[in-house]
Each structure stands twice: as C-alpha cells, then as structure tokens.
Amino acid sequence: MESMDNNMSLEQFQADIRQGIPAELPELPPYDADINHAPKRKDILTPDEKRLALRNALRYFPEELHAQLAPEFAEELKQYGRIYMYRYRPQYAMYARPINEYPHRSEQAAAIMLMIQNNLDPRVAQHPHELITYGGNGAVFQNWAQYRLVMKYLSEMTDEQTLVMYSGHPMGLFPSHRDAPRVVVTNGMVIPNYSRPDDWERSNALGVSQYGQMTAGSYMYIGPQGIVHGTTITVLNAARRVMNGKDKMPLFVSSGLGGMSGAQPKAGNIAGVVSVVAEINPKAAKKRHEQGWVDELHTSLDELIPAIRKAVEERRVVSMAYVGNVVDLWERLADEGVEVNLGSDQTSLHNPWAGGYYPVGLTLEESKQMMADNPQQFRKCVHASLRRQVDAINRLTERGMYFFDYGNAFLLQASRAEAEILQADGSFRYPSYVQDIMGPMFFDYGFGPFRWVCASGDPRDLELTDRLAAEVLEAERAEAPTDIQNQLDDNILWIKEAGRNHLVVGSQARILYADSEGRMKIALAFNEAVKRGELRGPVVLGRDHHDVSGTDSPFRETSNIYDGSQFCADMAIQNVIGNSFRGATWVSIHNGGGVGWGEVINGGFGMVVDGSEDAARHIRNMLFWDVNNGISRRAWARNKGSMDAIRREMERTPQLRVTMPHLVDDAVIDKAASLF
C-alpha cells in the first residue's frame, strides 16, 4: 500500500475518510503556533445565545460525548469567538491528492473531495486550521465535524444522488439523477434585513451560517494563481493607460499578501513593473517570499525607499514586500516625493472589523487584542487609519498617480470613515478597476477567469492542457473581430508563459481569461484528450465568481452597469439556477464575497470533464449559458461591447434570442425632463 504523509497509508487515509465523525473521541491535537491562525472574533453572543451555540455544535455528536465536549467547545467559543472543533481536525496531510486515491463510488464526487482538500491545503489556505481559505473569513466549512461528514457523504455518493450544503453544513444526500449537480452549495443566504456585518458575526458564532467568500465556499480556490492573471491584466492595462508610451519604468504600490492579494507581486513581475506591496503579517509575507511570489522582503522604510528609487532608475523588474503598515508606506512615499505611477489596495476591507484591515499605529498583536476586547475603539482606529491612508493617496494622485479600487471595498469603507474620497456629486473620487479596465475591456465581451484543475495531479497533464488552450485561442484569434483581438493576444501570451512563471501552488491548476467560444472549445479539447487517454485523468472546470455572469456586485463586478440594476441580484441567481440544470457537477450561491457581507450575491460552479459524451453535452449547454447570461444582462444595460458581442452570438447560435435595448437620443430625454 502506498505510503501517505504523517506515516498514514493510503488504506488508513481512505478508512479515515469513510468513517466520517469518529465514534470515539480522537486525541486533542496541540495548537500549532507556526500556522497562520484566524484572529479572535468579537464576543457578540448573549449568554443565552452562547448556550444555543453549544447546543448547535453538540448535535453532531452522540449524547455520551456531550459532557466531555461541552466544556471544550465552550472554551473555544470563549477563546476564539467560534467553535472550530479542533479535536476533530484530521491528522493526515491536507492537500489535493490524485483523484484515484479518494474512496468513492462517483468519480465526480472524488473530484469534489480533491477540490475541498486543495482549499484547505496550508500552502493555499490563509487560516487552514480554522477552515478559512482567504479574505480573513472565506470559509469552506464552519467546523471540522462538517468537513468530516461531507467527506464521508462524498465517499458514499453515487451519480444518482445530490448532496445539499447549507453554509458548510451537509443537510444530507438526496435521490437525484445523473444530469443533476452532485452538490448544491448555499452560503450566507440570510434574510436581507439580517445581512449586516454584525449579523454575520452572530450567525457564524451560533454555527448556523458562514461567509463563503467567492471560491472558498465553492471549493474552487486554486491559490494566488486564481487572481494573478486578472491582476496581471489589470496592472498591464493600467500601465498602458498611464504611461502612454513614456520611456520610464512604472512603479506600482499596493497592500496585502494574504490570500487573493498575494498575487500582486507576481502579477507585477509578469506585467513588467516595479511593485511594492505592504503586508502587516510577517507570516503571510514570509510565505509568499518562500513560494517565490515576491522577490524581496523589507522591514525598514529607510532601506526600502532607496531600493525603490534604484530599481526604477535601473528599469529592473522586481517585486518588493514591505513588512509593515501600508499607511506608513503611503505617507513616506508622499513625504519624499517618490513618483508612483499606479496605486491600489487589497486589504480585506470587506471585513474591516475582524482581521481584514489593521490600523496604523498598532502592532499586529495589539490590533488582534483590541478587535476582540474593545471593538468600538478598534473601529475608531480603523476609520482614523483610513483617513490618513486616503490623505497620502490623494497627495500622490495630485502628482499624477493613477489609483484604482481593487474591489475590496476600499472606497466604500473609506467613505464610511469620512475620508476625503468623494467628489462634490457624492460619487467616488477614484474608479473601480472594473469601471475603467475589466468591465469595458473584458466582462462586457464575456472574457473572464475560466480555470481548470488536472485531477490526476500530474504536471504533464497541466502542460498538455496549457498547449491545448493556446492552440484554441490562436485559432480563435485568426478569425476574431478587432474589438477582442488585444484580449486574445494577452491571453495567448499568458498561457504560453504560464509554466515558466511557476504559478502552481497546491493542485495542478491553471487560469485563463476566455470568452464563451474559447471556454467551450478549450473544454471540448480537454474532453477529447481525456477520451483518447492523452490526459491521465479527468479535468475539473470552474471559474472565479469574479466574471461576466456569476456575480452581482455594485462596487465591483457590476460597477460598470449604469441603468440602475447594479443593485439587483437577478443575474447571479439566474446563473446558478441555469447552470444547475445544464450540467454543472456542483453549483454554489453566496451572500458576501470580496466586497462584504450584504454587499454582493455571487454564484459559482464546478464541472468534471471525463471524456464522455455527457460531459461534451454539458460543456456546450452550461458554458454557453454561464457566459451569455451575463453578456445579455450587460447588453440590456446598454453596454456597447456587450451589445456587439451578443449580436455576434445570436448570428452564430440560431436558437438564441436576446431582448435588445433601443437607444434614446439625449435630446429627447432632455426635452421630456424639462417637464419634471
């Protein structure tokens, strides 16, 4: 029997999966101080609610264990603000194994097990022992009992069943059919009037709801690579916009090296700029440096500022991490007159009160203590810090820096802190990157973060899929209309260079921005390669929710929709419903995400491509809908790129009939408006 990590054989690993929640109490593992742990959550429950939280947690276990587990869980709730059930954390190594190592009756279910374990891989996850993948609160599950029960269900499931997931809790396996999703996931689907940040804290502490972020609770996170491509495209096009032929090396400054934000320095290198990213957490900065995602670590601004000037002067592409507070960095850059060309921020400001943002003037540990013990004072410190940060950014933009919001709620939270971030008409002083770059150039045409994972775990499979994807895009480029040629050129270059840039962390995964035509043709090429045996295992398809169709987010994905519907969530809900009966292997719908609880609804999917005719049919039906649903909505909002794109699609697809808007002359509106 093949040996597993931690001296566990494959047979033992499979037995551990099949048993689910152990009948006997496992030993309590020691607290691992070397792992990056989630901050303590604030004490928000009343005494009666704490009793309810304990009752909710203990329902996973038989009565004879309650007397021993109750005080243990009570201590976790007191010490961490949550009940994680650390005792039940598995002792096998957590990573995406080759698909055939998982005990299963359904290959689709085995693929989902692989993706879940990848989300919790310590190389990938931000707080792996708290089951949080990224963003400070993006959870796969609420506790380890849920993880164990889900893995057991997946090991038993057939292709005639569907597992129903309620915010990390497996409601159960239900009779279904082969074309139905194997798993349906909902996260944070609370009643709208109970969707404030404190409502999340309360419901999560009770163990009844969770923040799934985007790809965390959808089992589709692939490490920082998942965002590096979009960040590269954003930085590349922002630099083109700002430099406009200037013979200088662009300097890009931002913050955050945790989950998604960890992609920034790698993207800066690929885009060919000098990048400086601040990170307050030394463990996060060190991890990115060890993974090769950032070139240099700096702890002193006195040493960093000259290093920045030297790199720009030498025109040397390099990524630097400042291990410290980004406000100190911004203020020093402004004080010393450093010419910054591009600026942004990727602190998790969707989660400002629970570890997403650390205010200037406090150490990391002081912040963690204050957010738990004195949340009102912590809120004041965050607001004061944001005001200082915006003041420094404003000084630099007055000298020519192009600053953009990276969809993390920076502008929104800065406005709530009463920073100088608004214009006279009440609009934000700076654009969202979707408004200026990703929306009009990519989303409106259906280009978005298509991704795949080679379930064999074999790097040779990834190399082959890279080559197949490049061939598809080159063929599409040969006949492409002029308005999408640049997008295809950038993506062809990306996929050809992907292997050289060492983007893999965890599973053998890749991401690529492609439109509807490209995604379907790439997926069909993978399916044929599996069928012919050229690929050694199936391929899992997916995407980030950060796409044309899956997310309704007025301050990010739909921020370039101007007909008033940017606050409506019909698109995301329709997307998931449509994917579920068109062949997705699993679907998910979440409240929350990168801009905050109550600020966005986003839907995702996963699809297993196994070389079958069923898979080919699902690819044609589902991927077509998954993209064109969003293009149609954007076309109805009068976005010109989407109107052009959907007209072309209707010419290619006779069965497609989309309601198109009639455009009104401004003079007609002006004349009628005079009657108001």
Give the span between the Cα atoms of 87 and 102, in whole angstroms: 23
Instruction: Taking the CA atoms of 478, 482, 487 and 490 in sequence, report the sign of the dihedral they define.
Output: positive
- What tens digit of pLDDT does each residue of 258-295 get? 766 678 898 899 889 999 999 999 988 998 898 888 99
Show Cβ contacts of residue 513 under 8 Å, excluding neighbours closer than 6 positions: 229, 230, 233, 442, 447, 448, 449, 450, 487, 490, 491, 494
Mean pLDDT of 171-197: 95
- Numbered residues of the known binding site: 135-136, 213, 279, 406, 594
Mean pLDDT of 438-461: 94
70 pLDDT exceeds 90? yes
- Percent of the chain whose pLDDT exceeds 70: 99
Mean pLDDT of 37-64: 96
End-to-end CA distance of the chain: 80
Closest CA to 587 of 179, 96, 190: 179
224 pLDDT exceeds 80? no
Q: Give the range among 34-38, 255-259, 418-422 with minimum mean pLDDT.
A: 255-259
The pLDDT value recorded for residue 6 is 63
Single-letter residue type at 272: G
Q: In which band, very low, low, confident or very high, does the pLDDT at 163 lie, cut at 50, 70 and 90? A: very high
Find the helix or strand (DSSP H, E) in which 331 lies: helix 326-335
Question: Could you tell me if 51 and 58 are in contact, meaning their C-beta atoms sit under 8 angstroms apart?
Answer: no
Mean pLDDT of 495-523: 91
The pLDDT value recorded for residue 260 is 62
Instruction: Taking the CA atoms of 635, 406, 555 and 258 in sequence, report the sign of the dihedral they define.
Output: positive
The pLDDT value recorded for residue 500 is 84
Q: In which band, very low, low, confident or very high, does the pLDDT at 497 lie, cut at 50, 70 and 90? A: confident
Mean pLDDT of 422-443: 89
- Numbered residues of the known binding site for NAD(+): 135-136, 213, 279, 406, 594
Angle in degrees, 0-180, between the axes of helices 225-243 and 485-497, rounded to the nearest 10: 130
The pTM for the full model equals 0.88
Q: In which band, very low, low, confident or very high, does the pLDDT at 5 lie, cut at 50, 70 and 90? A: low
Find the helix or strand (DSSP H, E) in which 487 lies: helix 485-497
Give the span between the Cα atoms of 265 and 307, in whole angstroms: 16
Mean pLDDT of 296-322: 96
> For the residues of 345-376, what is the DSSP string, one character each?
--S-TTSTTTTS---TTS-HHHHHHHHHH-HH
The pLDDT value recorded for residue 555 is 85
Q: In which band, very low, low, confident or very high, does the pLDDT at 556 lie, cut at 50, 70 and 90? A: confident
585 pLDDT exceeds 60? yes
The pLDDT value recorded for residue 1 is 34
The pLDDT value recorded for residue 106 is 98
Closest CA to 645 of 437, 490, 443, 434: 443
3 pLDDT exceeds 70? no
The pLDDT value recorded for residue 396 is 97
Radius of gyration of the chain (CA): 24
> For the residues of 241-258, what is the DSSP string, one character each?
HHHTT-SS--EEEEE--S
2 pLDDT exceeds 50? no
**Domains defined along the chain, listed by start:** 249-433 (3.40.50.10730)
The pLDDT value recorded for residue 583 is 97
Single-letter residue type at 73: F
Instruction: Taking the CA atoms of 266, 600, 196 and 404 in sequence, report the sign of the dihedral they define.
Output: positive
Average pLDDT, the chain: 93
Selected residue with higher pLDDT from 48 and 352? 48
